[in-house]
Amino acid sequence: MTMNNRNRGRTAGSGRSGTGRDDRHGPGGRQGARGDRTKSEPISRQVYAEDDVTDERQEDGEQWIAGKHPVLEALKSGYTLNKIWLAEHLQRTQVTAILEEAKARGVVVQYADKRKLDQMVPGTAHQGVVAQGAAAAYVEVDDLLDRAAELGEAPLLVLLDEVEDPHNLGSVLRTADCTGVHGVIVPKRRSASLSAVVAKTSAGAVAYVPVARVSNMVQTIERLKEAGVWVAGAAGEAQDDVYRANLTGPLAIVIGNEGRGLSRLVRESCDFLVSLPMSGRINSLNASVAAGVLLYEAVRQRRSGAPGGASSHAEGGGDAPA
């Protein structure tokens, strides 16, 4: 794959890991020894004390919190919430404090039919307010880059662009742990969250692979670029496959939605696109399977120090990622 050489004002060594985004050679910065990697301790989980007026269901670390006061107190305490649901019949004045606190903490609020809330917490007087607690705490994007720096490795990240199936998210986390990924990034909306299903599917990897949740994926990609990270989008229509790409340096791999693939703006924000060779009659792979293939090719290249095939130079004489 070829792409025009662009200078975004970065210099070698600008990445947090010290490997930097080198515009002369694409993402092929110095790679730390994967064998020196030590197993991370489980990410700390915040625990919300049970309130005597709410009935909470717990499964694999996930909690359902019901009632105006318990949900508000969970927000104020800093407990990590995936989402808050409000009954459609509630007036804004009844939940002003919850709405303000949720906005301040970046928690998504969604209105739903009362019957849906009844199904979430059966037999519980939820007062039209239900929240889902995360199975693990989310982190910030900078924490992922800092994690790579602490290990002395070029950042290797996975971005999931509106991947909605929790089984896919869980599988990606499991593969991410096995391949030494420094973290996964998901959007706050239209995305699977760290639920009990994700925790179970990940086979415990949710405790070891940090996940950052962001409001705007395109802005996050730009932030990663400024930190020296090259961004590769997985797209079936890409002209060159992953085995011709350079995946040896600071890199973020973007996986698209199960049905729609990469959104237009995210696709346009990527530095380059990669595809997987398809020989059969089925022209697509499950999102988590595709992520696994791409990540293990990145591992192979990083261990061997050899980037992908011949298309490692941009047309026009400048060097760029394959």
Same structural domain, 73 and 85: yes
Same structural domain, 258 and 174: yes
Distance, CA of 248 to CA of 306 (rounded, Å): 7
The answer to whether residue 299 sits within a structural domain is yes
Number of separate domains in the chain:
2
The answer to whether residue 195 sits within a structural domain is yes
* pLDDT attached to residue 322: 40
Specify the DSSP class assigned to residue 275.
Answer: B
Whichever domain contains 119, its CATH number is 3.30.1330.30
Specify the DSSP class assigned to residue 182.
Answer: -
The answer to whether residue 28 sits within a structural domain is no
* pLDDT attached to residue 300: 94
Structural domain that includes position 286: 34-41+137-304
Same structural domain, 147 and 290: yes
What Cα–Cα distance (Å) separates residue 26 from each residue in 173, 204, 221?
Answer: 26, 34, 16
Same structural domain, 203 and 176: yes
Which of 104, 133, 162 terminates a domain? The answer is 133
Same structural domain, 128 and 233: no
The answer to whether residue 165 sits within a structural domain is yes
Please report, in tens digits, the pLDDT of each residue of the chain (322 residues total): 433 334 443 333 344 444 456 553 445 443 343 344 444 443 322 323 233 333 444 444 457 888 888 889 888 878 888 889 999 988 888 899 999 999 998 888 999 998 999 988 888 889 999 998 888 889 999 999 999 999 999 999 999 998 989 999 999 999 999 999 999 999 988 888 888 788 888 988 988 999 999 999 999 999 999 999 999 999 877 777 888 889 999 999 999 888 888 999 999 999 999 988 877 676 667 889 999 999 999 999 999 887 775 434 333 333 334 4
* pLDDT attached to residue 21: 62
Q: Which residue has the tokens 């969604």?
A: 110
Same structural domain, 247 and 288: yes
Same structural domain, 163 and 234: yes
Which of 78, 111, 133 terminates a domain? The answer is 133
The answer to whether residue 289 sits within a structural domain is yes
Q: Side-chain half-sphere of 270: how many Cα atoms within 13 Å?
A: 25
The answer to whether residue 6 sits within a structural domain is no
Same structural domain, 120 and 265: no
Same structural domain, 160 and 282: yes
Same structural domain, 204 and 91: no
Which of 108, 133, 158 terminates a domain? The answer is 133
* pLDDT attached to residue 7: 40
Beta bridge partners of 66: 130
The answer to whether residue 50 sits within a structural domain is no
* pLDDT attached to residue 29: 45
Give Cβ neighbours of residue 186 (< 8 Å, ≥ 6 apart): 159, 160, 163, 169, 192, 193, 211, 212, 213, 214
What Cα–Cα distance (Å) separates residue 101 from each residue in 49, 96, 136, 189, 319?
Answer: 19, 9, 20, 18, 48
Tokens of 279: 């020989």
Same structural domain, 90 and 197: no
Whichever domain contains 169, its CATH number is 3.40.1280.10
The answer to whether residue 107 sits within a structural domain is yes
Same structural domain, 129 and 170: no
Distance, CA of 71 to CA of 77 (rounded, Å): 10
